[in-house]
Amino acid sequence: MSLKIGDIAPGFNLLNQDGKRVSLGDFKGKKVVVLFFPMANTSVCTNEMCSISDNYEKYDKLNATVLGISVDSHFSLKLWAEKNNIKITLLSDFNKETAPAYGAFYDVFVPGALDYKGVAKRSAFVVDENGKIIYVEVLENAGEEPNYSAIQDALK
């Protein structure tokens, strides 16, 4: 399923890196940037989450919360966040329900080399205060990062 601007963002209830449940509904009345990423401890994912983390005040000033979601376990997300000083909330879609609901899911990741089944596509969604999607970016190439300027523009 492919989400588009104007759609209601699918809800989720996932464990964060500290093992606490977090749902999209927890942020009602606030904008949310939902960033899906393929795998913790990989170079591009680390660069993306560290970049967002280092610039978090920009998102905070725009009344936005940033959530990073992957299919990694919350245990591995915690270790990765601590190792890299990632300050944003990371969520585990270990059961692989949320990424497919957003259309941000590889059936096979790196076919012919890794052949991992069910990995989140690097994607960015901005959800407004009412739960509607106001920005969508789903990248087919996991080596690319989202357009941070476009995300910030959508938040304005």
CATH number at residue 31: 3.40.30.10
Domain range for 70 is 13-155
Q: What is the pTM of this model?
A: 0.94
Is 92 a member of any domain? Answer: yes
- Cβ neighbors of 82 (< 8 A, separation 6 or more) are none
Residues involved in catalysis: 45
Is 5 a member of any domain? Answer: no
Is 72 a member of any domain? Answer: yes
Strands 116-120 and 105-109: antiparallel
Range scoring the smallest mean pLDDT among 110-114, 124-128, 129-133? 110-114
71-124 pLDDT per residue, tens:
999 999 999 999 999 999 999 999 999 999 999 998 877 767 777 788 999 999
Q: Decide if pLDDT at 2 tops 90.
A: no
SS3 content of the chain, % helix, strand, coil (to 5): 30, 30, 40
Is 2 a member of any domain? Answer: no
State how many domains the chain has: 1
The rounded distance, in Å, linking the Cα atoms of 92 and 13 is: 10
Is 7 a member of any domain? Answer: no
DSSP letter at 8 equals B
